[in-house]
Amino acid sequence: MTLLLQREPLRDVIGRKLTEAIVYGELGAGERIPLVSTAERLGVSMTPLRESLVQLERDGLVAGDPGRGYSVAPLTAAELEEIYPLIGALEGLAVELAPPSPSELEALAGLNDRLRDVDNAEEAHELDRAWHARLTSACTNRSLLDFLDNVKRRASRYEIASRHLFYSNLSESVEHHRRILETIGAGDLEGATRSLRANWRITPELLIPTLGGYGTDE
């Protein structure tokens, strides 16, 4: 019997490469994405590139202009105020649907201890991402997780840009994590959700002043 291997659509491969370039700042906020030179650089034709850009526009990572093509979406205070509360709410729902087991809570506590002791902004960012990913790893609601992944991709641009600010407030994040684990361990999932919402307010509170915003609502 011949096994047919399903290949990943080329538009998805392109989208992943462009997403990485946007998140890590290789393509800066507001920068135009020239179709011809981008297709040549990636070694692809225009059709899958356009398909990928249409999807990235839906995902909020690029902006399309009928007269000018595509550019990287700007970083704005308005977007910060929209997406970070969503992450807190979605993570809270994932935890309510499938809270971490006692052994996972121990592993998360250990990961939080590593985060507390880290001595550079890059590693702190990666450990924080790993902590949040592990927190929701028991959830099997695919629609919720897909939506959460999409919003987190948009948030990653702000997190990469603000790693030094996050690191300067690391102790606050570590304390939020400790409180989240404590409330989950006590069976207080509503309390865990409140703590998650507070945890995801850190980045907007740090960055909004630098983006011309005026703070967030409590």
pLDDT digits (tens, 9 = 90+) for 1-13: 344 445 778 999 9
Backbone angles phi, psi at 69, to 5 degrees: 85, -140
| DSSP SS3 for 33 | strand
Please indicate, yes or no, whether residues 189 and 141 belong to a single structural domain of this protein: yes
Could you tell me if 45 and 110 lie in one domain?
Answer: no
Tell me what pLDDT residue 3 has: 46
Q: What is the mean pLDDT of residues 54-73?
A: 90
Residues 16, 59: Cα–Cα separation, whole Å:
12
Both 171 and 86 in one domain: the answer is: yes
| pLDDT tens readout for residues 145-198 | 999 999 999 998 888 888 888 888 899 999 999 999 999 999 999 999 999 999
| Phi, psi angle pair for 32, to nearest 5° | -70, 150
pLDDT at site 5: 45
For the cut 90, the answer to whether the pLDDT of residue 101 exceeds it is yes
217 assigned to some structural domain: no
Task: Evaluate whether 200 touches 180 at the Cβ level (below 8 Å).
Answer: no
**Which tokens sit at 207?**
């960055």
Residue 84 pLDDT: 93
The tally of domains found in the chain comes to: 2
Q: What's the average model confidence in pLDDT over 29-57?
A: 93
- Residue 218: band (very low, low, confident or very high) from pLDDT cuts 50, 70, 90: very low
Choose among 38, 73, 214: nearest CA to 156. 73
Rounded Cα distance between 92 and 96, Å, is: 6
**In whole angstroms, what is the distance from residue 19 CA to residue 61 CA?**
8
Cβ atoms of 95 and 134 within 8 Å: the answer is no
2 domain residue, yes or no: no
How many Cα atoms occupy the beta-carbon half-sphere of 209 within 13 Å?
A: 4
More confident residue, 77 or 94: 94
Place of tokens 């989208």: 15
> Residue 105 sits in a domain of what CATH number?
1.20.120.530
Q: Work out the mean pLDDT of the chain and round it to a whole number.
A: 89
Is 90 exceeded by the pLDDT of residue 117?
yes
Per-residue model confidence (pLDDT) at position 46: 93
Residue 210: its pLDDT value, please?
73
Domain that holds residue 66: 10-72
* Same domain as 186, residue 98: yes
The percentage of residues in the chain with a pLDDT greater than 70, rounded to a whole number, is 94
- Report the pLDDT value the prediction gives residue 212, as an integer from 0 to 100: 55
| Residues 40 and 134 both lie in one domain | no
